Amino acid sequence: MKQMKHISIVVIILLAVAGTATVVVQQLSEQLVTEPEKVTVYLRDVSSIPILNTEIATVSASPKAADLEITAKAAYIADLDSGAVLFKKNESIQRAPASTTKLLTALVALETYSLDDVLTVTSEASTEGHVVGLYKGEKLLVKDLITAMLISSGNDAAYILANNYPQGYDGFIAQMNSLASDIGMQNSHFQNPAGFDDDKHYSSAYDLYILAREAIKNDLIKETVASASATIYNTDKTVSHALQTTNQLLLENPQVVGIKTGTTEKAGQVLISQYQTENAGDIVVVMMGSEDRFSDTSSLADWVYSRYQWKLFSTPQ
């Protein structure tokens, strides 16, 4: 009889279901700051995923979550495939998201334009904060504008995408909020495409996790946020723009494969990171209101991987 395999993730408890393959995330010692509910989520067929035989071992040197010293005012870490919560701190509190906003801007742009659509730089394009240095009248492909916005965090690129929206700039902002609501961002509202501070522009650590999870489903976004550098050109190839990532961890840690930074006076330092390791599941780490987002992220990611172990196993039907 043909075996059917599925994937499941369990926090603290281990469930074995006949005819399924299960991923187990087992807590190895003390509890989280706020213990998440026990979660079992069945995902896609995993017949092509190998079984991991690594045995779970207690890591006595691993500190309690309450003892971790991070500067972030809010944080959220979850397994990417299942959504199982691995760490949370003030995850529902509304805070300024800064340039992580651009992930949502990219999603709206991708549902609006074709990648080879040509947009013209207008005088309304923002020249504040991080900019690519696009000039008025320059014509660029939508794909290149998204690349500039996500790698170099170009505010000018974000505004070009919004200003050229068929229903105008206000229509673009309205669609950002509509899409945010559709994907489940219940504690978020957006007022501009770049992430500038505004009392009506806010999100939460949990909502940014939702946004990141949705964004990296798109191949272009996933590839772009994993890139440390790129060069884009205007449509007649007379002007080039060199792009460099704003994500320090992307340059320093091979486990980090994206996704977006953000910084404003009100937001402080914001960072969403995706970690990918050989013997564990992918995790998304969100930091908001940090004084040292890269250090905070590294510390918590190390803590998670020392406390949890992902294990695949299967039982015959």
Which residues, listed in sequence order, are joined to residue 203 by a DSSP beta bridge?
Answer: 95
| DSSP state letter for 11 | B
pLDDT per position as a tens digit, 254-312:
999 999 999 999 999 999 999 998 878 899 999 999 999 999 999 999 998 888 877 66
For 206, list phi and psi in degrees, rounded to 5.
-65, -45
Confidence at residue 5, expressed as pLDDT on a 0 to 100 scale: 36
pTM, two decimal places: 0.81
Catalytic residue among 153, 188, 290, 298: 153
Regions in the chain scoring below 50 on pLDDT = 1-63, 315-316
Architecture, CATH, for domain 98-247: 3-Layer(aba) Sandwich (3.40)
Which distant-in-sequence residues (6+ apart) come within 8 Å of 132 by Cβ? 148, 152, 154, 156, 157, 232, 241, 243
For residue 213, what are the CA distances in angstroms to 23, 204, 245, 254?
19, 14, 20, 20
Residue 237, sorted as left (phi over 0), alpha (psi -120 to 50) or beta, turns out to be left
Confidence at residue 309, expressed as pLDDT on a 0 to 100 scale: 79
- Contact (Cβ atoms closer than 8 angstroms) between residue 173 and residue 193: yes
Q: What is the arrangement of strands in the sheet containing 74-79, beginning at the earlier edge strand?
A: 85-89, 74-79, 283-290, 268-275, 256-264
Confidence at residue 290, expressed as pLDDT on a 0 to 100 scale: 96
Active site (annotated) includes residue 88:
no
Catalytic residue among 8, 82, 99, 204: 99
Active site (annotated) includes residue 102:
yes
Confidence at residue 9, expressed as pLDDT on a 0 to 100 scale: 37
Active site (annotated) includes residue 237:
no
Q: Which amino acid is at 127?
A: T
> Helix, strand, or coil here: 100?
helix
Nearest by Cα to 132 from 117, 116, 146, 119: 146
Which distant-in-sequence residues (6+ apart) come within 8 Å of 2 by Cβ? none
Q: So where are the chain's domains?
A: 98-247
Which distant-in-sequence residues (6+ apart) come within 8 Å of 130 by Cβ? 99, 152, 153, 154, 155, 246
Catalytic residue among 89, 102, 143, 260: 102
Rounded distance between C-alpha atoms, residue 169 and residue 163, angstroms: 5
